[in-house]
Structure 1
């Protein structure tokens, strides 16, 4: 019998790409997952760097590994077994046999006999679709040898049954979202490719490519081509983007589209006229196609992105693929393309999906239909929240004659209320004033006046003139008594100004009123902004459970079509803040990263610098002070660009605190000049963050009496407004001032109040920022003799509470013995390390020359200090705290 040919190129990892990027973030994630015994599947479309990542991981492995890149030929079982046999480096002479089961038994025997772990890396798993071949891999998944670790890459879901792995918690799936390049990786890859770009260009590139590595590389190549042709960096990046899309079109055509059946290509082209579609719209656009079958096939090929909703699923294509499909149809049949746009528009209009409808009418060049929808359904357009689409359409119809321009101006102003784009808000005001000067008479004059006032009050809040914003909103509320959504927005503007000034009680009351009213008017997406503000207030007041419930409920708000995508940003941002306060820092990083991705996808929104601000706080909490400093510097640059001076001042205050913490005095003189200017300009109506930073600076400058005087005022405000987080900060500052004058017991009394407050209300901030310097003093407070000497009335917080609240923060510090509130002894640490090597209690006793009962005592102490109940949990906690390094 003729044996299948063995192809050596399938048995080695691919070489690292020229000027590539080492993806440390993902490599660390893969290492951690394999150490936990998981099976890892990289499942993403073409061009996401799966093979490159697998190759990098293989070269990073310390132990033995086997590499197997599959082709369709391995659907013949003997070919699969021959290559697997060779990948495991079993004796070559044993492969001169046509008996597949003999090879399989040798493979299993080798895996069962191995003492050291071996990692099997399988690339292109999606090509293995014959049941008689993949059942061998299925055997390894269902009953894996102890030494085997498995990681695979696939385009689309592989045909292997994986549900049992998911049920048992053994499957780690990394999809396109995880494999996408983030902003920092995009920057690093640009530097590796000798492309020098500013931050704004990188953000635009990250948003336009959605982190697709191949798309980013095509963009860099187009940039280098332009640079080579002119000899200087291009000022206009739009031609670069068009050329990059042309490169991507050729790539997708060669690698994927030309190999698809004609009917499926037609379905792709027709549905690509819609930004997002569901099965109903697909049937309207591709009437002769079995839509359900086509969608299933596209999911198998990983050519479609599913957006699940409560009652149905929606789909979209990656921008690069959609552009390729759109260009194919436009070049071949432009008349058909315009007809499809009109079909889509009419169907969406019937479904009351107005923003998508006007987008389709705009692409069909029917501007009268666009203006008609804006005129009749302006309120619904705001409620849908499809910010990019709406702003693009409004730009397109600007200056179109024959319509009540007040309607367009008010609709655009309502959109600006969501995006916080100050430049666009100013333009809206100028437009409304110009219309009024021409004595045009709007159909709803009070609505126009309210629009002017909520724009002005919003501008005052964003621009840092908070007292003026309060006055404007109050005047408008008194002047216009009509009960409508515009009036509710004025209450929201007042709530924002009050909250920024630290007046949390009235801010919560006014935001709650605005929320109830807007929900009564049927708004569901815009209200996420109010929910976020209320959640932030509740977090500051220590009502963590109420804040978390509020933020979680954002996800349950009904959404029309894909309209919730922009407003989803605020849910992720709120979750990140709640997790940060609870010291669940890994989860907080993930939530804020999701918020960043959404903010990047909405260039008309100024949300990105706010996300960056909270990411900077997270970096500091993690001890990554250099990253925090860089993030806040970028926040201030963007805030100046967007004229977001409230945020600019907040970030500046945090940077001042960080400069003191890192002994970096160069920043402080400029910040103090800014502080004094704001103090004169706003008559001491400053942000609590600014006052707090100013007191820390005064302490640093030796002005302790002045610092204590301002501190007393801050504490009084914190107590009056139930701002417990601010109170916590003032207690830490009070302890520092006591320490400066050598009053150590007074400092401990202040720290005791801070500790009790933090434990009662879940404030992980106790040890995140300046409080980190008080770690030893806080440990002293846990000692019974110290508490007795200080005559402290309250008992020490339970050890379980201390570990659950502060342990994640302390992970990864320089010394392992500081990774716990109560550190491990040297003997306990040795026992823990032997447990990690799999030794039994008896083996540990014998190796350490101690009794079995002493070993059990050490283990019980370990369980108590790690706040766990068994060995597996103890080892998991120890890895998290990096105690085994």
Structure 2
């Protein structure tokens, strides 16, 4: 920017409004948003509308810094609703950017306020004559409400040259005409959902703030703030101001952070509201979501009247549609928390009254889980027990288990001890969230009821409830054979189907699956699923479908698993923030499928969504399983250190909640990663101690993943014979059960063992077994983990050079499967550095040959290629002949097919 001359306006111009504000410290570059903001053909408009603190101004500062042209910046305020004042500052901004010459700027300013039309004409003419790119930013435009101003901005857009890009940002949407721009593909709109920080951006922001965080902290911050960057910054500021705190979640940090956030909302949002509007917000903050009738029920004197909440539904108020109910709305969780704190300080008794009012209304509307939660918050235990008694089945079907767990936690100790339905309902809920501590307490309650049962209690139902809880404890604790024995005994004794027996069959299926017995697991899982669906139970059946899908993946039936997981999809918009517990199985399952399909970026996004749901639940419900799968995706991407950190996080959660089964599974994969990421002595030593304990306690009934990990440890420690015995037994067992992914990994271990023993022929035979399984089931996983280190052997098997008649090779039918995988792996920097330079299945093309090949693929003839590359036709023919030789083809069509197979077309 440059000044072209002094400004002497008739109306004062504040020069500070013509410069972008100072960016916040340690700002994170929003690369994906900057890419969307990139200039489009023809003049266009970008509208950015989001509440306070979402980073609108910072994003525009970053965009302005990379803009290749004139930047015209104008920060607006309430006083700019005076059209003459607005125009004076707009003239000043264009003058400061060098677009309006000083003499014409003086004329335009002098015309104000007598002849604004003349000033506008001078400005528009200069804009038209400026041939270079221009970016006009109107920041904080939500303060403008003058209709004349909106018409002037609209006229500027309609008369703007193709070189002008206009960006309007604010907390409210400016009332300018957009239909004609949208029809011409010249409109871009960004809102709070677009501006929200993702997990990776939050992680980067924490690093720059000097916060020592782990993956769990990032997910928890993401869930708490929903990506609202100011909320994240305030939380980090509270951590910085609490030097004695050992984590972001220290009580002192939380108290200070919530105070900072409440101050921000009071100053930036609530201070501008009328008293009736503030009253409405305070009265409705006691519920997690609301519709117009409920809002009116809680705040009858409010300005909100059915059938709309129009006064409340303004973007700057942090109000958004609820994801699972049409016509319902919710506050941003941090705004709701701030409002609730304020209301509770002022009148705690009124808070309890509002909870009771909300509970009564929600119960009438059939929203049983939320009603139960509200009765719990109102401390009305008798009403809470009545809801449990009457609507136990409805509560489980709705699936909002966090609310049910929280509500049951509000029952004072000693009350409800003789309540049969409460005991059975609590058992159903705690076994869904896998809370081993509460399962133990629930078993104690059931045992007391069995000793002195009330007249209406079913002793058989209590016994079966106790048994399925004990079976689940065995499964979660990694005592799989014991879990199977418990279920076997009861399922053989009772022949009449009921929900408790179906749940027991489900737990037995989980135990069989953990031990690798796929056929038995499939039989139990599908039978239990069919029975529970026949009983009319919904929601919970997603857990059974998820297990069935896992079994299908293990059998190599990826397409069947994909169909099953897609069927579990939430009914609300997939782009919305997921909230229901049972939705976690949809995202986690699809994440598994996308991993097996080598669609790793998509897999990571799906697993992050699953983690967002899991973080709203008790930690034991789903989080360790989600983190485990996320670590495998990170490993497949070559991020070994990050994957180990994620597995450490999963193991910490599992250990704390006595989930020893998933703890052991994470440990098996962690030690395999550690073997590839030296120094690794501590992790390997720790795992070997755990493995000895497993053998001592479980005998031969260990996880197949643990046996595979043991084989890799023995391989790396030089115990080749022990590793060979382990591997060969494992391959035989996995073959009987048809466990395809683990068979592939086991064959790769065997190939590595033979290679280390200098038996290249046997190594190639083992590799071909892995390749055959992967190709038969279309599983590109062989280069995900340790297979990355066999790239050299694969290259050797594909190469036709320096080969004797006795040397093993990869058969022709498998080449088409493995060559694209190898080419893709070699294009990644990490893998290329780790792989020895052995002959490729094709001789590397020169840069010029790749250029020629690209034009051949486009269908161009020799003459066209010569003209495009400024070379002679004879040179083109020479390049094409070289390409044919290197790709081992004889025609253009064959060259194109082979190039596509090898991913050489990009």
**TM-score higher than 0.5:** yes
Map of 1:273 onto structure 2: 286
Name the TM-score, length of structure 1 as normaliser.
0.84
1:728 to 2:744 alignment: yes
Q: CA separation in 2, counterparts of 1:154 and 1:245? A: 25
Q: CA separation in 1, counterparts of 2:775 and 2:39? A: 33
Cα offset for 1:467? 0.6
- On the 8 A contact 2:51/2:315 being kept in 1, the answer is no
Map of 1:753 onto structure 2: 769
- On the 8 A contact 2:418/2:454 being kept in 1, the answer is no
Map of 1:569 onto structure 2: 584
SS at match of 2:582: helix
User: Quick check: 172-181 or 388-397, which moved more?
Assistant: 172-181
- On the 8 A contact 1:807/1:821 being kept in 2, the answer is no
Larger of the two Rg values belongs to structure: 2
SS at match of 1:433: helix
Map of 2:672 onto structure 1: 657
- On the 8 A contact 1:768/1:809 being kept in 2, the answer is no
Q: 1:770 to 1:237 in 2, by over 3 A?
A: closer
Map of 2:71 onto structure 1: 66
1:845 to 2:858 alignment: no
Q: Which of residues 363, 372, 376 is equivalent to 2:386?
A: 372
Cα offset for 1:370? 0.9
Q: CA separation in 1, counterparts of 2:446 and 2:775? A: 52
User: Quick check: 636-645 or 263-272, which moved more?
Assistant: 263-272
Map of 1:27 onto structure 2: 31
Aligned pairs for 1:387-406 within 5 A: 387-399=401-413, 401=415, 404-406=418-420
- On the 8 A contact 1:845/1:852 being kept in 2, the answer is no
Q: 1:393 to 1:738 in 2, by over 3 A?
A: same
Map of 2:258 onto structure 1: 245
Q: Which of residues 78, 83, 99 is equivalent to 1:90?
A: 99
Residues 51-101 of structure 1: per-residue CA shift (max 9 Å, x gap): 334445655x38557363542538957468536635754354253435435
Aligned pairs for 1:457-472 within 5 A: 457-472=471-486
Map of 2:370 onto structure 1: 356
User: Quick check: 71-80 or 460-469, which moved more?
Assistant: 71-80
Q: CA separation in 1, counterparts of 2:12 and 2:895? A: 56
SS at match of 2:73: strand
Map of 1:384 onto structure 2: 398
Cα offset for 1:623? 0.9
Q: Which of residues 766, 773, 798 is equivalent to 2:782?
A: 766
Q: Which of residues 243, 256, 267 is equivalent to 1:254?
A: 267
Q: Which of residues 7, 14, 24 is equivalent to 1:17?
A: 24
Map of 1:544 onto structure 2: 558
Q: CA separation in 1, counterparts of 2:770 and 2:11? A: 72
Q: CA separation in 2, counterparts of 1:121 and 1:815? A: 44
Q: CA separation in 1, counterparts of 2:475 and 2:52? A: 46
SS at match of 2:328: strand
- On the 8 A contact 1:619/1:627 being kept in 2, the answer is yes
1:580 to 2:590 alignment: no
Q: CA separation in 1, counterparts of 2:89 and 2:851? A: 45
1:100 to 2:120 alignment: yes
Residues 616-643 of structure 1: per-residue CA shift (max 9 Å, x gap): 1111111111111211222222221111
SS at match of 2:870: helix
Q: CA separation in 1, counterparts of 2:476 and 2:167? A: 49
C-alpha RMSD of matched pairs (Å): 4.4
Map of 1:881 onto structure 2: none
Residues 754-790 of structure 1: per-residue CA shift (max 9 Å, x gap): 3343233232311111111222433455557889975
Q: CA separation in 2, counterparts of 1:260 and 1:209? A: 23
- On the 8 A contact 2:392/2:425 being kept in 1, the answer is yes
Aligned pairs for 1:206-605 within 5 A: 207-223=223-239, 237-238=250-251, 240-286=253-299, 289-291=304-306, 293-295=308-310, 298-301=313-316, 303-309=318-324, 312-330=326-344, 337-399=351-413, 401=415, 404-438=418-452, 443-555=457-569, 565-603=580-618, 605=620
Map of 2:55 onto structure 1: 49
Q: 1:424 to 1:403 in 2, by over 3 A?
A: closer
User: Quick check: 329-338 or 577-586, which moved more?
Assistant: 329-338
SS at match of 1:398: coil
Residues 515-569 of structure 1: per-residue CA shift (max 9 Å, x gap): 122222222222222222222221222211111111111115699x999612212
Cα offset for 1:191? 6.4
Name the TM-score, length of structure 2 as normaliser.
0.82
Q: Which of residues 641, 654, 661 is equivalent to 1:626?
A: 641
Residues 213-238 of structure 1: per-residue CA shift (max 9 Å, x gap): 333443444455565xxx77699944
- On the 8 A contact 1:579/1:585 being kept in 2, the answer is yes
Q: Which runs of 5+ in 2 are unaligned?
A: 1-7, 109-117, 857-863, 884-891
SS at match of 2:537: coil
SS at match of 1:566: coil
Q: 1:401 to 1:420 in 2, by over 3 A?
A: closer
SS at match of 1:316: strand
User: Quick check: 432-441 or 546-555, which moved more?
Assistant: 432-441
1:825 to 2:831 alignment: no
- On the 8 A contact 1:384/1:564 being kept in 2, the answer is no
Q: CA separation in 1, counterparts of 2:342 and 2:479? A: 52
User: Quick check: 374-383 or 266-275, which moved more?
Assistant: 266-275
Q: CA separation in 1, counterparts of 2:362 and 2:18? A: 52
Q: 1:412 to 1:868 in 2, by over 3 A?
A: same
- On the 8 A contact 1:589/1:615 being kept in 2, the answer is yes
- On the 8 A contact 2:764/2:809 being kept in 1, the answer is no
Q: CA separation in 1, counterparts of 2:245 and 2:809? A: 73
Q: CA separation in 1, counterparts of 2:740 and 2:734? A: 6
Cα offset for 1:496? 0.9
Q: CA separation in 1, counterparts of 2:468 and 2:763? A: 47
Q: How many positions carry a matched residue from both structures?
A: 852
Cα offset for 1:307? 2.9
Q: 1:390 to 1:162 in 2, by over 3 A?
A: farther
Q: CA separation in 1, counterparts of 2:726 and 2:505? A: 31
Aligned pairs for 1:73-222 within 5 A: 73=80, 76=83, 78=87, 82=91, 85-86=94-95, 88-93=97-102, 94-96=104-106, 97=108, 98-107=118-127, 109-110=129-130, 113=132, 123-124=139-140, 126-127=142-143, 131-135=150-154, 145=163, 154-155=170-171, 176=192, 179-180=195-196, 207-222=223-238
Residues 279-305 of structure 1: per-residue CA shift (max 9 Å, x gap): 453454455623455347524435212
Map of 1:882 onto structure 2: none
Q: CA separation in 2, counterparts of 1:113 and 1:232? A: 54
Residues 407-428 of structure 1: per-residue CA shift (max 9 Å, x gap): 2222222111111111221222
Cα offset for 1:456? 0.9
1:616 to 2:616 alignment: no
Q: CA separation in 2, counterparts of 1:829 and 1:421? A: 58
Q: 1:375 to 1:731 in 2, by over 3 A?
A: same
Q: Which of residues 635, 649, 652 is equivalent to 2:650?
A: 635
Residues 801-840 of structure 1: per-residue CA shift (max 9 Å, x gap): 964x7777666424889999976533245679999xxxx9
Q: CA separation in 2, counterparts of 1:331 and 1:622? A: 50
